[in-house]
Structure 1
Amino acid sequence: MRRGKKYGLIIFSLMILLMSWEGQKIDSAAAEGAIPQQSIRLRILAHSDGVGDQIVKRRVRDAVVEQMNAWVGELEDPQSLEAARGVIREHLDEIGERVGETLAESGKKYGYKVELGMVPFPTKMYGGAVYPAGDYEALRVTLGEGNGKNWWCVLFPPLCFVDAGSGDALQNGQGSQAVSAKGGADQPVQAEPGETKVRFFLWDMLVRLWDWIAGLFR
């Protein structure tokens, strides 16, 4: 068991180096298209920049986007901002429950906050365009202290569509009722489609490796 922990610590050190590169690459993938004047963003703030907290941030992202996809699919007009706003407000408690469940499943005991309103954003690049800092309507999920790197995307109207199984970006006509599972960090850059597929595969491997290492210390 001691030998296993030694190997685990060595692998963990290598993971930190890989995470610092891979996490930035994945978070920096920007969706295609410009952000309309009337839109609703999603912003998730991690508890910290620690490896475990950043992994949990992505798990929460996946849980929220998956749930939003289901609700968007039920709308008569998935492009209606008013309808989208109403759905989010109606299901805020359910979104919070989903976030809480994800944190519990990940072994995290810190709190969280889910809110819809005007949220401050720093200057962002999205789809090759720069958007000035300011307050924008958004669904904001704060995990713990919310001091870590954030993840964000545009919930409504959906501008980029992602296959949840592979993380590959799809053409806009292939899934008109899907919410993007891609977004950007504070300083996103454009990513090539082929590179995105490889990066998501590497990220999945890193997450599984982290879970294995964490299991050695339980």
Structure 2
Amino acid sequence: MKRETICLIIACLISFILTAGIMNWRMEIVHAELSDTQQSLAKEVFRFHVIAESDSANDQRIKLKVRDAVLKYMKAHMTRAERRDAKATKAWTLTHKKELTDTADKILKKEKVSYRAKAEVTTCYFPDKRYGDIIFPEGNYEALRIVLGKGNGHNWWCVLYPNLCFTNATCAVVDEDGKKELKEALSAEEYEMVTATSEFKIKWFFFGKDHAKESD
């Protein structure tokens, strides 16, 4: 009886180790597949990033004023076609960096601070960012980045394309127009990733990438 108990315990331990190993292997595959989809998503998205001089209340307030001024300038000077295409949005931004810097600097001068702004188009790492029931997964994305002074303060960001910045400047949530814009801009798989991230991961874990595509 004692021998049977020992054998049963050993069998349970082996089963547990094998199951844990399979689950770990499966999760590694899921993370790799999600990473591939995030990289694909990143090609369809262009973000906006403003970094404050410091975390003081005044510098954080100025950061938001710069945000509003830059978005207002872009909305007034970009054509509808330029706002509805990722490449066109990036191209417009690249050719108007000086104007965007000047727009930010006007706010800084008005606020009578000594530091100035620097605008650039670059690839930045972003953590997960939720806008209501929309979540953009962590990863590297191209962005218009405006650094105020030394850029040592907390930052603010939104999505320029699809143009969520323009449909909702605070970007606390994505309204129906924003969701429609997202759906038109992204593939079905990418759209599912940003609208149902947890369910998306579970589906990929149990059924794999091919099943996720079939169910879109």
Fold agreement, TM-score > 0.5: yes
- Paired letter, 1:141: I
- Specify the SS of the correspondent of 2:83: coil
- Deviation of the 1:130 alpha carbon: 4.0
Gap change, CA 1:77 and 1:100, over 3 Å in 2: closer
**Counterpart selection for 2:142 from 102, 122, 137:** 137
Which one has more relative contact order, counting CA pairs under 8 Å at least 6 apart? 1
Q: Kindly report which structure 2 residues correspond to 1:152-191, keeping only aligned pairs within 5 A, or say none.
A: 152-159=157-164, 161-162=166-167, 172-173=176-177
Q: What is the TM-score normalised by the length of structure 2?
A: 0.56
Question: What is the match of residue 98 of structure 1?
Answer: 103
Count of residue pairs the alignment pairs up:
140
Identical pairs, percent: 35
Q: Which runs of 5+ in 1 are unaligned?
A: 1-34, 178-218
Pair 160,86 (structure 1): closer, same or farther in 2 beyond 3 Å: closer
What is the identity, as a one-letter code, of the residue corresponding to 1:109? S
Judging changes above 3 Å, is the alpha-carbon distance between structure 1 residues 68 and 161 closer, same or farther for their aligned structure 2 residues?
closer
Name the residue aligned to 1:116.
121
Question: Structure 2 stretches of 5 or more lacking a match?
Answer: 1-40, 182-216
Name the counterpart of 1:49.
55
| Secondary structure in structure 2 of the residue aligned to 1:47 | coil
Separation of aligned partners in 2, 1:163 and 1:80? 18
What's the CA shift string for 1:11-34, capped at 9, x where partnerless? xxxxxxxxxxxxxxxxxxxxxxxx
1:81 aligns with: 86
Larger radius of gyration: 2
Match of 2:64 among 58, 61, 69: 58
Tell me which amino acid in the other structure corresponds to 2:66. Answer: V
Pairing 1:202-217 to 2, within 5 Å after superposition: none
SS of 2:164's partner is: coil
- The structure richer in helix per residue is 2
- SS in structure 2 opposite 1:147? coil
Q: CA deviation at 1:122?
A: 2.4
Deviation of residue 125 (structure 1)? 2.3
Following superposition, the deviation at residue 80 of structure 1 comes to 1.2
For residues 159 and 99 of structure 1, do their structure 2 counterparts lie closer, same or farther at Cα, with a shift above 3 Å needed? closer
Deviation at 1:118, TM superposition (A): 0.6
